[in-house]
Chains A and B, each alone.
Chain A
Amino acid sequence: PGGVVVPRAGLKKYVLPPDYSGIIFPERTKLKFMDKVPAVPKVRREPRRLRDIRGPSQVATDFTQGQYGIMALGGGYLHWGHFEMIRLTIGRSMDPKTMFAIWRVPAPYKPVTRKSLGHRMGGGKGPIDHYVTAVKSGCLVVEVGGRCEFGEVKPFLTQVARKLPFPAVAVSRDGLRQMRQEEEEKKLNNQNPWTFERVVTANMLGMRKYLSPYDLRLKGRYWGKFFLKHRV
């Protein structure tokens, strides 16, 4: 068309407000206070058992009540200081009338012993110093929900996620689904004919001599407590 086109606003698209019909609020909207020491403290000192950090999580992998949460992308231990930080930061930043938050990890239950400083090796196992909770990769730490959007919740969730001892990320239901979908797609359209899984299950070139029997399950995506996101 000839002539100068003067830009003007087009038709206004009226967006319907989001539908918060199926949301059930728990009794207490703020995060519960977690004890430093469990109600029945452990008498027997436990071995270290670092395998509770290794590998993918089987518990708390999906959302239950809330819509947004913090997902761990690595293994680690959360102690009482971390719990307090999470509780206070989220309690400060969220609106208890429209949002609610729930814990997805248990209170610290695993005793960690520490010998007193400056002593030589030996003399038995040290006394219990504090309690921790073990968190594996893919585990949700807290869940937040209510009549709110991801954009409102994301800032303080990322702030909390940065302070955790393992790499963590704020996710929503859609975001998590998207991540899993992308993983599947990557697995399918990988052009490399050699995959870790294939090599390990067939024990090609005797690779299992240099790999752990756990690598059959972990399939090269996990190394110690770390989760290797870029690997297929």
Chain B
Amino acid sequence: MAALSGGGGAPWRRGWLPALQFVRRGSKAVTRHWKAMHFQRQKLMAVTEYVAPRPAVPPRCLAPRKETREEDNGYVRLLRRQVEEVFRNNRLIAVCQYNSMPGEDVVLMRHYLRKHNIEVKFVLNEIVRPVLSQSKYKNLLPLFVARNILLVSREAKVKEMLRVLKGVPQINLLGACIDDTILSRKGVENFAKLPSLEASQGQTVGALALLPSQTSSLLQRGSAHLTALLDQHIRRLQAGETGSPAEPGPAQSSGAH
């Protein structure tokens, strides 16, 4: 609080009082207890409080921003590269459902498949799915849902694979991609029943070579027919003239050729 006071007519003569006198009342500025504020100061503090910003649309009404996790993890990148390699190099890729098997059964199965040059690969869905969605194998995506394994091979030995898998009840074939053709379970079984490539190639070659092989016999058919007729004629003549030893007919016909 300030009290105004002034001297009389000439303050510099008698002694002077300051224009504003601060009244010392109450405690000092710094106290151990919370010093009561002057009401005006309380009002000022109330007026100058912090007011938080309030956006027009509350943030919970907007769609949450999903922060994309950057795959800086080198391990993830390595696994992805491996998966891409697998899909590039191998002709046969079969996706099977994998239920938990005892360890030794897994090892045995792998051994039998390895004999037929088929590898068993365990891959995580969270790695395979992005890789597939960006490659041409988009339609294989629905297969990679629950626990699964990949059986990959360079040659397509489907019959042996099916035989091994039949002996293992915990692995169920879901689908396969053979030579960039997606096959379902039935399709794989039908593919297994097909004859092998060499056999079918031989069949096609044989079918194609059938007609050219007949060309020579077709061309010779006329003269062969004539030869046969003449032979028969001669035989009839011989049979008619039993005993005539000379056979100029066949000698003439063989000389005519």
Contacts and interface: CB of A to CB of B under 8 A. Distances in A.
Interface of A: 1-6, 8, 10-11, 13-14, 50-51, 53-54, 75, 186, 189-192, 194-196, 199, 207, 209-212, 214, 220, 223-226, 230-232
B37 A1 contact: no
B32 interface: yes
A218 B32 CA distance: 18
Contacts of B48: 192, 194-196, 199, 220, 231-232
A121 B38 CA distance: 29
B50 A192 contact: yes
B50 A224 contact: no
Interface in B165-197: none
Contact of A196 (B28, B45, B75, B145): B45
Interface in B55-114: 73, 75-76, 79
Contact of A8 (B38, B75, B147): B147
B50 A231 contact: yes
Interface residues of B, number: 33
A139 B38 CA distance: 29
A2 to B, nearest CB: 7
B124 A225 contact: no
A1 B47 contact: no
4 nearest interchain CB pairs? A50-B30, A191-B51, A192-B51, A210-B40
A207 B41 CA distance: 8
8 contacts: A1-B142, A54-B29, A75-B30, A186-B50, A210-B38, A220-B44, A232-B48, A232-B50
Contacts of A226: 34
B29 A210 contact: no
A192 to B, nearest CB: 4
Contact of B29 (A4, A11, A224, A230): A224
Interface in B5-38: 28-32, 34-35, 37-38
B142 to A, nearest CB: 6
Interface string B180-219: 0000000000000000000000000000000000000000
A194 B45 CA distance: 10
A210 B146 CA distance: 73
Contact of B75 (A1, A14, A194): A14
Contacts of B79: 11
A220 B46 CA distance: 11
B2 A209 contact: yes
Contact of A212 (B29, B44, B47, B147): B29
B49 interface: yes
B71 to A, nearest CB: 11
A50 B54 CA distance: 41
A190 B50 contact: yes
A190 B45 contact: no
Nearest to A195: B48
Contact of B41 (A75, A194, A211): A211
* Chain B CB within 10 Å, residue with most, of A3, A8, A210, A211: A210
